[in-house]
Structure 1
């Protein structure tokens, strides 16, 4: 008796997946269904990394989330259409036997309909169910199209992330070295950390606003890890703004705004309490290199106004299983606590 109402949950599944694909692939954000898929998969990867003590597991977050999302979308649509066709006895018949299709046969029919194979082993005798077969086939085409729409921007965003991470790694890799090498080895000086990075920072920021789940992707190698190099850049920009006793380079506020925006997107995605504020960076390294540096007390007072940003930077580094002393060298009296 209840079988005739199975089309209702089936339709709900099909519509829910379609809505999720629209939100995730076309609108800015992350669909509720995708979020429900990503969170447990990400938890499995991060738990495996934490228990094993190996960052290698984190690098599997990207293929795990991508493949998991595509499989979940496919299975839910597949099962939803199966319920729709199964809800009406006789909606599908065997082409040779003329017998009503069993549930496994209905599942098989929906599978090759969504894949647009059209094998013809099972047929829909009535016009209504033939039209529903056409709609299911079109749904399968949409599923494939959205899968491509989902993957291609991720590949582009990861390429941009790696480009920035590799640039900062070679220029640093930690906050103090970013400043020292920009000051001494780069023909544009500190502008190489502000104005020169505007375009790629904006691209990466826009990509993460459009696809916030990118913050769940991690890389194995240090030189590719945005969750390490971006905190280092953020800490370097704060040192330039609050510690260096010199004119601020043009573009500093815009670069900091991009870093701040990326950390806010990260916080919205991860929904976890922020770690304590990291210890102050060691300014003696810059002072010994001949840079004009304000007093440590002045800088600590400045840092208090940026506690939230620095805690988000620390959370980002922690999510990638990096230590804060890999982001910035800290004052010697704090180093033993890290």
Structure 2
């Protein structure tokens, strides 16, 4: 193999390793996200905010589709570059199939192997190439199942976030201006402890499913960024209560909110000296609160 063939092989192997690493960090690593997926998700998010003046509800689904397409492209092009130096001598062709040695031919072989469709007109003859193609077929099947699993894992996390937002809104509507003072202390404590548990689940979801952050809710009622300030208010009111059980529940909710603020600050770059400031920035970033008008 000449220098050009070695270079193509090295570049192809690098693309394949990048795809594998990105899939691993996105789907298997509990508190991480791959560089390709993270860049695409954030890029779509920033582009939608720039074009629309606010977050878009379709940006995140489109970004997920773009991430899946990027994984498939990296795999297809990577393996094509591995095959290209061995065309056409490393493959056996049927009698009616022209023998070519260009990138389009290598990409065709790669795509057919990646899709596990199989073909009979072009077959690898070198033992190593046969193993490489078999491995690509296995990787293609794994990539397909991994993307399906990714989608199936993402939407339950979004449902938990929406459920928490609805719970807070229902509590606000039912309690009215009096807040937790309108409830018996024991009942209010149980509700706040339930909210603390749900807030903790959302924090874990944001760490495990980085992409869920970029999903924007059309209706403010189901938007967590628009309701976290109220949860913070409830925690503060409960901690000022004379009831021991209610104060404990307030501390639990406050601690859960502090953890969530830490995730938003450390993972997604939200700024603020206090958790309340972080939540205000989070709400503003998702465009559920208009920025203050400039002073004249």
Q: TM-score, normalized by length of structure 1?
A: 0.76
2:226 matched residue in structure 1: 228
Cα distance in 2, alignment partners of residues 235 and 336 from structure 1: 27
Cα distance in 2, alignment partners of residues 100 and 336 from structure 1: 65
2:44 to 41, 46, 53: 41
- Compute the displacement of 1:182 (Å): 4.0
Q: What secondary structure does 1:246 align onto?
A: coil
2:18 matched residue in structure 1: 16
Structure 1 position 195 matched with structure 2 position 193: yes
Shift of the 61–255 alpha-carbon distance from structure 1 to 2, 3 Å rule, reads: farther
Cα distance in 2, alignment partners of residues 150 and 178 from structure 1: 40
- Compute the displacement of 1:2 (Å): 1.6
Range moving further from structure 2, 180-189 or 61-70: 180-189
Cα distance in 2, alignment partners of residues 2 and 231 from structure 1: 59
Structure 1 position 184 matched with structure 2 position 182: yes
Q: Which runs of 4+ in 1 moved over 4 A?
A: 176-179, 185-189, 334-337
Shift of the 92–186 alpha-carbon distance from structure 1 to 2, 3 Å rule, reads: farther
Q: What secondary structure does 1:123 align onto?
A: strand
Conserved? CA contact 1:115–1:137, under 8 Å: yes
Unaligned runs of at least 5 residues, structure 2: none
Instruction: Note the alpha carbon deviations across 1:164-223, whole angstroms, 9 max, x for none.
Output: 1111122226xx967734432689543255212243223222211222332222111111
- Compute the displacement of 1:239 (Å): 4.0
- Compute the displacement of 1:161 (Å): 0.9
1:308 to 251, 274, 277: 274
Cα distance in 2, alignment partners of residues 204 and 178 from structure 1: 25
Structural RMSD (CA) = 2.8
Q: What secondary structure does 1:58 align onto?
A: coil
- Compute the displacement of 1:152 (Å): 1.6
Shift of the 198–235 alpha-carbon distance from structure 1 to 2, 3 Å rule, reads: closer
Unaligned runs of at least 5 residues, structure 1: 276-306, 326-333
Range moving further from structure 2, 116-125 or 15-24: 116-125
Q: What secondary structure does 1:194 align onto?
A: helix
2:65 matched residue in structure 1: 67
1:139 matched residue in structure 2: 139
Q: TM-score, normalized by length of structure 2?
A: 0.86
- Compute the displacement of 1:119 (Å): 2.6
Instruction: Note the alpha carbon deviations across 1:118-160, whole angstroms, 9 max, x for none.
Output: 1333221222211111011011012112212321221110111
- Compute the displacement of 1:310 (Å): 1.5
Conserved? CA contact 1:114–1:137, under 8 Å: yes
Cα distance in 2, alignment partners of residues 155 and 72 from structure 1: 21
Cα distance in 2, alignment partners of residues 75 and 225 from structure 1: 34
Q: What secondary structure does 1:251 align onto?
A: helix
Shift of the 87–195 alpha-carbon distance from structure 1 to 2, 3 Å rule, reads: same
Structure 1 position 77 matched with structure 2 position 75: yes
1:120 matched residue in structure 2: 120
Q: What secondary structure does 2:264 align onto?
A: helix
